[in-house]
Amino acid sequence: MADLSVQVAGVSFANPLIAASGTFGFGREYSEFYPLSRLGGISCKGITLMRRDGNPPPRIAETPSGILNAVGLQNPGVDAFIRDDLPWLKEQGTVVIANIAGNTVEEYCRMAEKLSETDVDMMEMNISCPNVKSGGVQFGTSCESVAHITRAVRAHCRKPLVVKLSPNVTDIASIAQAAEAEGADALSMINTLTGMKIDIYTRRPIIRNNTGGLSGAAVFPVAVRMVWQVSNAVKIPIIGMGGITTWEDAIEMLLAGATALQIGTVLFSDPYAPIKISEGVNRFLDENNIQSVTELTGAVKPW
Amino acid sequence: MKYDVRQLGLISNEEIAAGIFDMKLAYGENKIPVVCGQFAHVYVPGKSLRRPISVCDARNGVLRLVYQVKGEGTRIMSQMKPGASVDVLAPLGNGFRIQSGRRYALIGGGIGVPPMLYTAAKCEDPLVITGFRDASLVILQDDFRRAGAEPLLCTDNGSVGKKGFVTGLLREKMEQVDEICACGPLPMLRAIAELCKEFGKPCQVSLEERMACGVGACLVCAVRVQKNGEELMQHVCKNGPVFNAEEVVWNG
């Protein structure tokens, strides 16, 4: 049994597999499949200052090796999360990451204040949601706006702060550097790639929001490339995600430069995927006489 | 653990009408009991999403799924052969609430007919109304008879049974029943909900929406409902698929 534990920004994870925000709710449903302590952590459904109902349906479309979604940050609001979900989550024996999203910088700051008073383990600042009209990705697509919001939220956030990056940018490495320079403790990447699917008979987009975020195996090579580029540009740890489906994908993402991993879309076809991936990674380490999973991080040998 | 994914042996998978298939899976007797109106989430090799299919029947250790080939996923399902192992997450969702001592009208339209078979088997002397576009799509009539319910039949074009919609038959029979359960296309369900409101009869409707996780985590299959005067989003997979018709915001 190799050592699967990892550290991200001073927080210890029993293994590098974290459930990705938006695919796992606040964990209750998947706790009916397996104990959540088998996961390294949970990144909670994105929460906003006030309750949001999200977008009208349809909110999802299947695409080759992936899905498009536009849920639109449906959530009960930060106060309800702290009151109704966090106490239960903290009893599950896994790292709890609160994913926060806002319409304004001020909203992010107020949520960071509120969550700093709780026993949330980390905060993941979502400046990359492509499916909401205001806020979301608009904060994450230029170095100036990323620097501005990271600096502002950093001043209110007394927990390790993870900045979740959008892939819908021209130069993700410089955006990552902007977040690092303003005090981000870690980065998580990639959020979904904006996409679209049209019903050729009705000529309507399948998703009511017209566009949605592409995730799943289809985006995996893009995610690996971006994690690799960013890992070469920053010193802070990266939580890698984007289409990880098998344990081989997990190894690949670690080699590209990730310290921990988030698992999302694959849950929809296989709810046990994080457990299987964790077991596969452990087997790979044992078979290759690697003592600790941390030895894989950034160990790609580029040409 | 409340949920379980199981590999079920495929007993048969036959086309029973144009593009409509009848899949029978060995469910076994010692599994989680299935409530009528619940659904099964079927893994399709090579696809990112499972296919949610309402349970047509779950008696005698056989899980029966009657589904229409609508796209690539259901086409792949239709090609699965007897002896194959099918990865199924079931049962999911909240089904029809059937109380003893009440007479139910069970109404199915098109591919909404299958869940009414298992529901009929759970009711005392139900009134079953089935509607289809035309004669080529009629299914399960003998199955209802074997379950002890003589189904009324109508088609949009009158090619078999009575010409017209299920709502016409329901209106004629409304005085004979206490409560209505329905599954079918949204315009049909909306019309049934209005009719039940007119007659002051409670109505349960089974809704459909594009779905991902199947258990209420991803919040994709949203449906707008009103509870205690407040509108909110619920989800077909976890809160439904069966909802009280008067709680559904039909233009939501």
CATH number of the domain to which A26 belongs: 3.20.20.70
- Is residue A303 situated within a structural domain? no
Mean of pLDDT values over B140-151 = 96
- Is residue A208 situated within a structural domain? no
- Assess whether pLDDT exceeds 90 at residue B31: no
CB neighbours of A295 closer than 8 A, spacing ≥ 6?
A: none
- Assess whether pLDDT exceeds 90 at residue B32: no
Q: By three-state DSSP, how is residue A126 classified?
A: strand
Report DSSP letters for B197-209, one per residue: HHHT--EEEE---
- Assess whether pLDDT exceeds 70 at residue B9: yes
Residues of A with CB under 8 A from a CB of B: 22-25, 29-30, 32-34, 45, 53-63, 65-67, 69, 71, 74, 206, 216-217, 265, 267-272
Cβ–Cβ gap A206/B215 under 8 Å:
no
Cβ–Cβ gap A57/B1 under 8 Å:
no
| pLDDT for residue A131 | 66
- What is the four-CA torsion angle of B232, B234, B240, B241, rounded to 10 degrees? 100
pTM of the model: 0.95
Mean of pLDDT values over A218-241 = 98
CB neighbours of A45 closer than 8 A, spacing ≥ 6?
A: A21, A22, A24, A25, A26, A75, A99, B219
- Assess whether pLDDT exceeds 80 at residue A133: no
Give A147 to chain B, closest Cα distance, Å: 30
Provide the β-strand partners of residue B15: B21
Give B49 to chain A, closest Cα distance, Å: 5
Q: Which chain B residue shows the shortest CA-CA distance from A73? A: B219
State the pLDDT confidence band at B1, using cuts at 50, 70 and 90. Answer: confident
- Average pLDDT of chain A? 96
- Assess whether pLDDT exceeds 70 at residue A134: no
Domain membership of residue A269 as a residue range: 6-57+74-194+215-296
Instruction: Give the C-alpha separation, A120 to A88, whole Å.
Output: 12
Q: How many helices and strands in chain A, by DSSP H and E?
A: 8, 14
* Count of domains observed in chain A: 1
Higher pLDDT, B30 or A281: A281
Domains of chain B, each with CATH number or no CATH? 5-92 (2.40.30.10), 98-203 (3.40.50.80), 207-252 (2.10.240.10)
State the pLDDT confidence band at A269, using cuts at 50, 70 and 90. Answer: very high
Mean pLDDT is lowest, of A170-174, B27-31, B76-80, B120-124, for: B27-31
| pLDDT for residue A132 | 66
| pLDDT for residue B123 | 96
Higher pLDDT, A80 or A136: A80
Report DSSP letters for A5-74, one per residue: -EEETTEEESSSEEEPTTTSTTSTTGGGTS-GGGSSEEEPPPB-SS-B--PPSP-EEEETTEEEE-----
Which of B219, B230, B238, B250 is the best mutation test for A, with the most CBs of A within 10 A? B219
Mean of pLDDT values over A141-161 = 95
Mean of pLDDT values over B78-98 = 97
| pLDDT for residue A135 | 61
